[in-house]
Chains A and B, each alone.
Chain A
Amino acid sequence: NAGVTQTPKFRVLKTGQSMTLLCAQDMNHEYMYWYRQDPGMGLRLIHYSVGEGTTAKGEVPDGYNVSRLKKQNFLLGLESAAPSQTSVYFCASSYWRELNNEQFFGPGTRLTVL
C-alpha cells in the first residue's frame, strides 16, 4: 500500500496564479483533511471531508477550495495565490471507526508564493 500520496512535492507560484494540490489514499478511509504547517504554529486545518461528495471548513479556509469527487481523492485549490499562502501543506486521512482517530499523513507539498 502506498498510504497517502501528495502531488506535487514542491511548487513555486507567482502572486495571483492558481494551482491544485492532489491527495490520494488507498486505505479506503472515509475522512480526509488538508492542513498547512507554518513555523511555530503547528498544524492548522484548512478543510476536511467526512465522505465522498462532502466537504467542510476548518480553522483557516479563506483563499482555498476543496473537492472530494471520489472517496480516495481530495483536491485542494488555490484560485489566486498570495505570499501568505507560502507553507507546507499536508493531506491526511483516517478511518471513522477508530476511536483514537489516527490520522495518516502524506509527505507534504512545499509551496512558495512569490
Chain B
Amino acid sequence: QKEVEQDPGPLSVPEGAIVSLNCTYSNSAFQYFMWYRQYSRKGPELLMYTYSSGNKEDGRFTAQVDKSSKYISLFIRDSQPSDSATYLCAMSEVDSNYQLIWGAGTKLIIKP
C-alpha cells in the first residue's frame, strides 16, 4: 500500500462546477500538506499548502486537512477551462520537510 493514495481520474466536469480532489494517507507523522498543479508537458507548481489540520482559502481554491481521517481535499469553485491540469498532493513530516511524499496525481478536465 502506498503512503499516499490519489485517484488518477480523469475527472471531467462542466465549466462553473465545484470540483473536489482528494488524497488519503497512512503516515500520521505528516504535518505539511501541499497541492501542486501540473499543466501538460510542464513541471508542477505549488498551488496551496497547509500546516497540520484545518482549512485554507485562496480565491477560488480551498484546501482542507482532516488528520483524524488522514484525508485531505482541494476544492475549486467556479471551475474554468484554464483549471484543466493534473493536481498532485504532496506531504511531509516536520523533521524531514525537504522530502515530499507524492500522490499519483488526478487529471482534471473542465469542459466549456
**Which bucket holds chain B's interface residue count?**
20 to 34
**In residues 64-114 of chain A, which contact B (Cβ within 8 Å)?**
90, 92, 94, 96, 99-108
Decide if A103 touches B88 in the complex (CB within 8 Å). Answer: no
- Among B32, B45, B46, B105, which residue has its beta carbon within 8 angstroms of that of A42? B105
Question: A48 interface residue, CB < 8 Å from B?
Answer: yes
- Among B32, B43, B90, which residue has its beta carbon within 8 angstroms of that of A106? B43
Q: Residues of A contacting B51 with CB < 8 Å?
A: 99-100
- In angstroms, Cα B46 to Cα A75, docked, is 23
Question: A31 interface residue, CB < 8 Å from B?
Answer: yes
**In residues 70-91 of chain B, which contact A (Cβ within 8 Å)?**
88, 90
Across the two chains, which residue of chain B brings its CB closest to A56?
Answer: B99
Shortest Cβ distance from residue B85 to the other chain A in the assembled complex, whole angstroms: 13
Interface majority SS (helix, strand, loop, mixed), chain B: loop
- In angstroms, Cα B46 to Cα A99, docked, is 13
Question: A4 interface residue, CB < 8 Å from B?
Answer: yes
Chain A 37-57 against B: per-residue CB contact (8 Å), 1 yes, 0 no?
A: 000111111001010000000
Decide if B98 touches A48 in the complex (CB within 8 Å). Answer: yes
Decide if B97 touches A108 in the complex (CB within 8 Å). Answer: no
Decide if B98 touches A31 in the complex (CB within 8 Å). Answer: yes
- In angstroms, Cα B100 to Cα A112, docked, is 26
With contact pairs A40-B8, A42-B6, A42-B88 given, residues A101 and B100 touching in the complex (Cβ less than 8 Å): yes
Q: Residues of A contacting B99 with CB < 8 Å?
A: 45, 48, 58
Across the two chains, which residue of chain A brings its CB closest to B33?
Answer: A100
- In angstroms, Cα B97 to Cα A50, docked, is 12
- In angstroms, Cα B32 to Cα A40, docked, is 23
Q: Residues of B contacting A104 with CB < 8 Å?
A: 45
Question: B104 interface residue, CB < 8 Å from A?
Answer: yes
- In angstroms, Cα B38 to Cα A111, docked, is 19
**In residues 1-26 of chain B, which contact A (Cβ within 8 Å)?**
4, 6, 8
Decide if B43 touches A105 in the complex (CB within 8 Å). Answer: yes
Closest 4 CB pairs of A and B: A105-B43, A42-B104, A100-B49, A42-B102
Q: Which residues of A contact B (CB under 8 A)?
A: 4, 31, 40-45, 48, 50, 58, 90, 92, 94, 96, 99-108
